[in-house]
Amino acid sequence: MLVLLARQWCHFPEDVVQEAFLKLSSVVPEPSNPAAWLFRVVRNAAISAGRSERRRGKHEARHSQSNPDWFVHDTAQRLDAGTAVAAMQQLPLEEREVMIAHLWGGLTFEEIAEVMATSSSSAHRLYAKGLAQLRVLLGEVHAP
15/62 same-domain check: yes
Q: How many domains does the chain have?
A: 2
In a domain, 142, yes or no: no
60/115 same-domain check: no
In a domain, 6, yes or no: yes
pLDDT in tens, 86-139: 888 899 988 988 888 888 888 899 988 988 889 999 999 999 999 999 989 888
Query: Has residue 16 got a pLDDT over 60?
Result: yes
CB 45 within 8 A of CB 23: no
For residues 52-68, give the mean pLDDT: 81
In a domain, 123, yes or no: yes
In a domain, 144, yes or no: no
103: domain CATH number is 1.10.10.10
53/10 same-domain check: yes
What whole-number distance in Å separates Cα of residue 51 and Cα of residue 133? Answer: 40
Q: What is the 3-state secondary structure (H, E, C) of the chain?
A: CHHHHHHCCCCCHHHHHHHHHHHHHHCCCCCCCHHHHHHHHHHHHHHHHHHHHHHHHHHHHHHHHHCCCCCCCCHHHCCCHHHHHHHHHHCCHHHHHHHHHHHCCCCCHHHHHHHHCCCHHHHHHHHHHHHHHHHHHCCCCCCC
58/89 same-domain check: no
- Supply the pLDDT for residue 12: 92
Average pLDDT, the chain: 86
- Supply the pLDDT for residue 68: 60
Residues of the domain holding 116: 80-137
52/84 same-domain check: no
pTM of the predicted model, to two decimals? Answer: 0.47
